[in-house]
Structure 1
Amino acid sequence: MLLADVAETWREVAATAGRSAKVAALARLFAETEPERAPVVITWLAGRLPQRRLGVGWRALAEPPPPAGSARLTVAETDATLAEIGRTAGAGAEARRRRLLHGLLARATEPEQSFLAGLISGELRQGALDALAAEGLAVAVGATPAAVRRSVMLGGSLGAVAEAVLARGPAALAEFTLRVGRPVAPMLASGAGSLDEALDRLGPCALEEKLDGIRVQVHRDGDTVRIYTRTLDEVTERLPEVRAAALELAVESAVLDGEVIALDEAGRPRPFQETAGRVGSRLDVAGALAALPLSPVFFDLLAVDGRELLDLPTEARHAELVRIAPDPRRVRRLLVTDPSSAEQRAAAREFNERTLARGHEGVLVKAADAPYSAGRRGASWVKVKPVYTLDLVVLAAEWGHGRRAGWLSNLHLGARDEDGSLVMLGKTFKGLTDALLTWGTERLQELAVDRERWGVRVRPELVVEVRVDGVQRSSRYPAGVTLRFARVVRYREDKTPDEADSVAAVRALLR
């Protein structure tokens, strides 16, 4: 398969509004995809690299060589080159990565170059493409979308399912079952603007503390324990305290869903990046354990002693979890049997307030009768968190890639420090609609004081409102903090930079 086929399908899906047309385009591509290439093709279309990180920055993409005149690059060649770039390390690695990248781009046509630039820079993402791809795969092989989705959730990877079903047909879907030791894609939550909205939406439900930790899926089979992250990476050797907690359970085998979190002496959560750094640390696990022990907390049970529980309702699965796990190992929760009751609704609000007072993110509200829909962001789990907005000053902006090519999209955001200087806090391109991109590109060029190939530095006059999940400590930025999941809400022409939020106000959001 040629890279051009993938790039053209991505362009077609991006330019098409209708869901059925998007699915049809993906189905045509999958029908022509060699089974062994399916995992790579699907990962690319979702805007991700199988290699995760290549060690290539925007500077390497800023001056591409002249494009090739005809499409000859294959998916296999492209993937092999990207893998080689990702493996390159040691003295002279940056120059060698640049040579490999430019060699690849020189063999690519202009549309292929645009696709690769967006893929490598991380600006190729399209909402819900994994779900669309599952439907497209079903159409391509003559299976039902529901059967494909269930196989994906149990197989843990759309790519693995695609490879199997393209090679052996719909019958291969039966090979994907819940197995202890093979991680499954976790169930995800949608959002609600308020607790009342969530209660009205779900009816009888349970409220659980939403911990600001790292999601873990724990598989125990006798004395063997394996631990996986939300992205299905195995981290067993890094989390001995989670392994110990799993071996304490009154079971022979089980698959559990939960979180690990670092707590201080008062039992309050430590900064998220401390937990993330501990989970990410591969060296000196014993030393890391002594310096920052993690607390494992379980909130769901997917299988126990040979019984699959996925299709049981929330409360039935929780009853099984209560049977095998002691109270300290279970997340705090409150059952709301009648959300229309003023008394129960008041209790729910009090539970939410106590959770926030303990320093946690908010609450997760779960429908009492919901099955565990692995790998899906369904309507039966709803997260409720405080919404923070900040007014920040735009300091610079980078030119976009892929669909955002020609627009200034990645905004550098700053706040005013005590001495009056503006201090950068982070970047974001999320939340920018086509209308905002068009207006912002024109306005930012008017404010430009320095033009580079990557973008522009601007006079600090434009204020933008951003919504954030919070902030976290960071040594990368001079203020020592950075934004978490920043999304643009709107430009604030009605505000001057003097009216924007200060660094002190941003730091105040630290727990």
Structure 2
Amino acid sequence: MAPARRPAAGRCCTPSSPPPPPRSSGCCAACSAASCARALRPGCWPTRSPGPPTCRRMPCAGPCCSPATCGRSRWPRCGAARLRWPTSGSRWAGPLAPMLAASAPSVDEALALTGVPAVVDVKLDGIRAQVHRSGSDIAVFTRSLDEITARVPEVVAAVRALPARELVLDGEAIGLDATGRPLPFQQTSSRAARRATPSAGGTTPNIGDAMPGAGGPAPVAPAVLAAAETTGEAVLTPYFFDLLHLDGDDLIDRPGHERWAALASVVDPTLLVGRMVVDGPEAAGAAFAAALDAGQEGVVVKDPDAPYDAGRRGAAWVKVKPRHTLDLVVLAVEWGSGRRSGWLSNLHLGARDPATGGFVMLGKTFKGLTDEVLRWQTERFLALAVERGDWVVRVRPEQVVEIAFDGVQTSSRYPGGMTLRFARVVRYRGDKTAAEADTIDAVRAIHAGRHPA
């Protein structure tokens, strides 16, 4: 099986060779062909010289890998695509660094990058899953190329039931609740969700239902349900969006529309990510709104003529997620360290609680602060200080700040039981008082997947 484009054959260079610049081919001066093969030396890279394929890895990631461990390494590009290692009596190729998506603030801007017509995929907030199959043997790898096969029996079972002998699939594995809506990412990633396996006659909505025009609810694949019984946990269902290899045929350099047609020919529709072809912003906007209404994270807009660019983030795939903002109140500030030493930096953020008249802390952030803002806020919060410590300065809850974030997740660390994902400062709101700040109820509505009133 050959699941990826063939890298240039190479071998480690000799000790007399100069060190390569970052992210280029070659080997550091301390690395020799013999030491790389023995997995003894750090800093080893492949060369373009003729010879047998050798193990490859990212710089500064630890020792060189050996043929026995390379494919299981977590480091992108460590597992040379054609390097094979023994597993269960078979021969396997190593995982491939996944193609990544750029970001855009709107579907209009995403389409400006991909062009039209374009394909809009539902963006799931799950675990990236690259699945390799050779006969009855299956291996599952994460975005960081960790092997998690033993932890995802539902994914293994679903792929084993497909009508193909050799496959390399790219997709996401996600937990769903009893209504078919996605579980929070924390629950999917930890597999700590409540048991939610439907009965044999039950159904859960297909992810494709997040797109306009999709059919009705589709049953969870029987193989997925049967495998879920062995875990004692929530059903973790795979949804695939790309096919890189099929029965001896490498598809990685083929245009997207050819890969996706091949994908649809071998993968059951209940295991496909929702997908819609659009010809302009209006249709793309409708697909985006439908994905959000279904509780999904957003969409990925894709150029249907682009090849699969492994390990790279470019304009062929562009993700669009909703940009949440809240006006919160600063409750305390921590002194900075390093280059921020002497400035008040990390903000403790709170939402207004109408029931008590107080504020509920939701987390902290130091993102989005320029040097000018750091200077201003240090003066401002020292003036509002009610308690000065060596680490934290507590302030009167008067200053409102606009915070952007990607979502709300459950957290036992803070009094409200929630925290903001990837919070960053947009601006200070001198035009608002603390009594006009957003409430904890608005945060709960976002956490529950509803639009705040």
- TM-score normalised to the size of structure 2? 0.71
CA shift digits 1:121-144 (9 cap, x unpaired): xxxxxxxxxxxx9xxx99xx998x
CA distance in 2, matches of 1:246, 1:26: 34
1:177 aligns to 2:84 (yes or no): no
Report how far residue 259 of structure 1 moved: 0.9
Residues 224-373 of structure 1 aligned to structure 2 (within 5 Å): 224-278=137-191, 289-336=231-278, 338-339=279-280, 345-373=281-309
CA distance in 1, matches of 2:306, 2:337: 40
For this pair of structures, how many residues does the alignment match? 367
Alignment partner of 2:101 out of 172, 186, 189: 189
CA contact (8 A) 1:460 1:497 kept: yes
1:201 aligns to 2:138 (yes or no): no
- For 1:420, the equivalent position in structure 2 comes to 357
Report how far residue 174 of structure 1 moved: 12
- For 1:409, the equivalent position in structure 2 comes to 345
Report how far residue 237 of structure 1 moved: 1.5
CA gap 1:142/1:406 in 2 versus in 1, 3 angstroms:
farther
Report how far residue 304 of structure 1 moved: 2.6
CA contact (8 A) 1:315 1:369 kept: yes
Runs (5+) with no aligned partner, structure 2:
1-19, 66-76, 84-91, 195-226
CA contact (8 A) 1:263 1:294 kept: yes
1:470 aligns to 2:407 (yes or no): yes
CA contact (8 A) 2:228 2:234 kept: no
Report how far residue 421 of structure 1 moved: 1.5
Sequence identity (%): 52
CA distance in 2, matches of 1:479, 1:486: 16
Runs (5+) with no aligned partner, structure 1:
1-22, 40-75, 80-132, 144-150, 165-172, 340-344
Report how far residue 279 of structure 1 moved: 7.4
1:442 aligns to 2:442 (yes or no): no
CA contact (8 A) 1:469 1:484 kept: yes
Report how far residue 371 of structure 1 moved: 1.7
CA contact (8 A) 1:238 1:279 kept: no
Task: Name the SS for the 2:301 alignment partner.
Answer: strand
CA distance in 1, matches of 2:344, 2:29: 36
Task: Name the SS for the 1:270 alignment partner.
Answer: coil
Report how far residue 388 of structure 1 moved: 0.8
CA distance in 1, matches of 2:284, 2:57: 34
CA distance in 2, matches of 1:211, 1:294: 13
CA shift digits 1:268-318 (9 cap, x unpaired): 22223221220799xxx9778444111110011222333332222211211
- Specify which structure has the higher proportion of strand: 2
CA contact (8 A) 1:156 1:183 kept: no
Report how far residue 32 of structure 1 moved: 7.3
CA contact (8 A) 2:79 2:95 kept: no
- Specify which structure has the higher proportion of helix: 1
Task: Name the SS for the 1:449 alignment partner.
Answer: strand
CA distance in 2, matches of 1:481, 1:314: 39
CA distance in 2, matches of 1:279, 1:244: 20
Task: Name the SS for the 1:508 alignment partner.
Answer: helix
Task: Name the SS for the 1:392 alignment partner.
Answer: strand
CA distance in 1, matches of 2:179, 2:78: 49
CA gap 1:161/1:357 in 2 versus in 1, 3 angstroms:
same
- TM-score normalised to the size of structure 1? 0.64
CA contact (8 A) 2:57 2:64 kept: no
CA distance in 1, matches of 2:309, 2:374: 36
Report how far residue 473 of structure 1 moved: 2.0
Report how far residue 240 of structure 1 moved: 0.7
Task: Name the SS for the 2:155 alignment partner.
Answer: helix
CA distance in 2, matches of 1:360, 1:24: 41
CA distance in 2, matches of 1:474, 1:312: 43
CA gap 1:428/1:202 in 2 versus in 1, 3 angstroms:
same
- For 1:505, the equivalent position in structure 2 comes to 442
Report how far residue 349 of structure 1 moved: 2.8
Report how far residue 35 of structure 1 moved: 8.5
- For 1:451, the equivalent position in structure 2 comes to 388
CA distance in 2, matches of 1:239, 1:175: 21
CA gap 1:238/1:163 in 2 versus in 1, 3 angstroms:
closer
Letter in 1 for 2:436: E
